[in-house]
Amino acid sequence: MSEETVLFGRTRSLVGIITDPPQPAADVALPAFIILNAGIVHRVGPHRLFVKMARRLATLGFVVLRFDHSGIGDSDVRADKLPFEASAVSETQEAMECLSRLRGSKQFVLVGLCSGTLTSFKTACADAQVVGAVLLNALLESPETISESTVAYVIDRKIARSYLHEKLFHAQSWLKFLTGAADYKKILRVLSSQISGALAPGKKIVAKENPVLGDLRVLFERGVNLIFVYSEGTGVLEYFQLKLESALRKINAERWRIEVVRRTDHTFTLLRHQEELLQIVGAWAGRTLIGCGAENRS
């Protein structure tokens, strides 16, 4: 494969790296991937994860661009005062224009981790050129729009799941419990919160429809394919399961899937977890998007 540094955007201030497949010419019928910043981490991604992902996808035949939003990594700060949520979507569209001009790409798949998932989601809603998204530890709404009571319930739910599924069978946890070293007040608070939550607050949270469901419904009707990949035991996974998973299955069961990487952290730090993630994303891309490209060629 080969890699090329590019300057693009309205003011040519955005810096990115295009990773091309090994073949002399990429198949323009395949969608191109665009990997977005995870928070303020520049385009290599946490632990160079995005470099590895770009190269893995390129071996499958995809053109991949990973770039820095304005003010991150090597990209200059914007001269205007456009809020980040709006500028991030605009700059992602400029990245699509760049790949369209330089590689002839007509359709795109966006990859986001953590905060990058919100940009991916909003861009997909705004631009019909987006045909897919890889959403890693996704929260598809601004955190400040989620109530404090919901956040507290989700955190307690996460801790309770840890007690019930991990520590219950862990000898060291029992030793702490029996010797008085455990935090009994915390254990009782969390477990009682979940018991009462199943009867009252939890049901209210589930019953209230998530505002992003309408946008997801539109994306599915447009034929957009999504894959959600979560780290086990994270609050965002709990929130997804609580607020979105069952509703999404009722809306559409074909256009999305969820995968969970066990015993990893939020940024997939360990090499074995990175490899598992790359295999998940590669398998989804090969199964979902290469077939789509074949349809486009015909």
From the list 264, 144, 162, 250, the residue with the least C-alpha distance to 206 is 250
Please tell me whether residues 221 and 287 are part of one structural domain. Answer: yes
Overall size of the chain counted in residues: 298
Please tell me whether residues 17 and 134 are part of one structural domain. Answer: yes
Confidence of residue 238 (pLDDT cuts 50, 70, 90): confident
Q: State which of 155, 183, 206 marks the end of a domain.
A: 206
2-28 confidence digits (pLDDT tens) = 999 999 999 999 999 999 998 766 677
Please tell me whether residues 120 and 248 are part of one structural domain. Answer: yes
C-alpha triplet 19, 112, 287: angle, nearest 5°: 70
40-60 confidence digits (pLDDT tens) = 999 999 999 999 999 999 999
State the pLDDT at residue 182: 46
Angstrom distance (rounded) from CA 290 to CA 72 = 32
Please tell me whether residues 198 and 65 are part of one structural domain. Answer: no
Please tell me whether residues 160 and 221 are part of one structural domain. Answer: no
Q: Is 70 exceeded by the pLDDT of residue 138?
A: yes
Please tell me whether residues 14 and 85 are part of one structural domain. Answer: yes
| Pairing verdict, β 64-67 and 14-20 | antiparallel
State the pLDDT at residue 210: 78
Please tell me whether residues 284 and 227 are part of one structural domain. Answer: yes
Q: State which of 163, 185, 206 marks the end of a domain.
A: 206
Please tell me whether residues 117 and 193 are part of one structural domain. Answer: no
Q: Is 60 exceeded by the pLDDT of residue 35?
A: yes
244-261 confidence digits (pLDDT tens) = 998 999 999 899 999 999
State what percent of residues in the chain have pLDDT above 90.
65
Q: What's the whole-number average pLDDT of the chain?
A: 85
156-215 confidence digits (pLDDT tens) = 777 666 655 554 444 454 344 444 554 545 545 545 555 455 444 555 555 566 789 999
Confidence of residue 134 (pLDDT cuts 50, 70, 90): very high
State the pLDDT at residue 185: 58
| Domain harbouring 38, CATH code | 3.40.50.1820
- The model carries a pTM of 0.84
State the pLDDT at residue 74: 96
State the pLDDT at residue 66: 98
Please tell me whether residues 49 and 190 are part of one structural domain. Answer: no
Q: Which residue has the higher pLDDT, 288 or 206?
A: 288
Number of domains in the chain: 2
Lowest mean pLDDT among 126-130, 250-254, 293-297: 293-297
State the pLDDT at residue 73: 96
Q: Which residue has the higher pLDDT, 104 or 176?
A: 104
Please tell me whether residues 48 and 161 are part of one structural domain. Answer: no
Confidence of residue 297 (pLDDT cuts 50, 70, 90): very low
Looking at the DSSP assignment, which residues form a beta bridge with residue 20?
A: 2
State the pLDDT at residue 291: 61
Please tell me whether residues 265 and 287 are part of one structural domain. Answer: yes
Q: State which of 175, 190, 206 marks the end of a domain.
A: 206
Please tell me whether residues 81 and 129 are part of one structural domain. Answer: yes
- State the residue range of the domain holding 89: 2-141+211-297
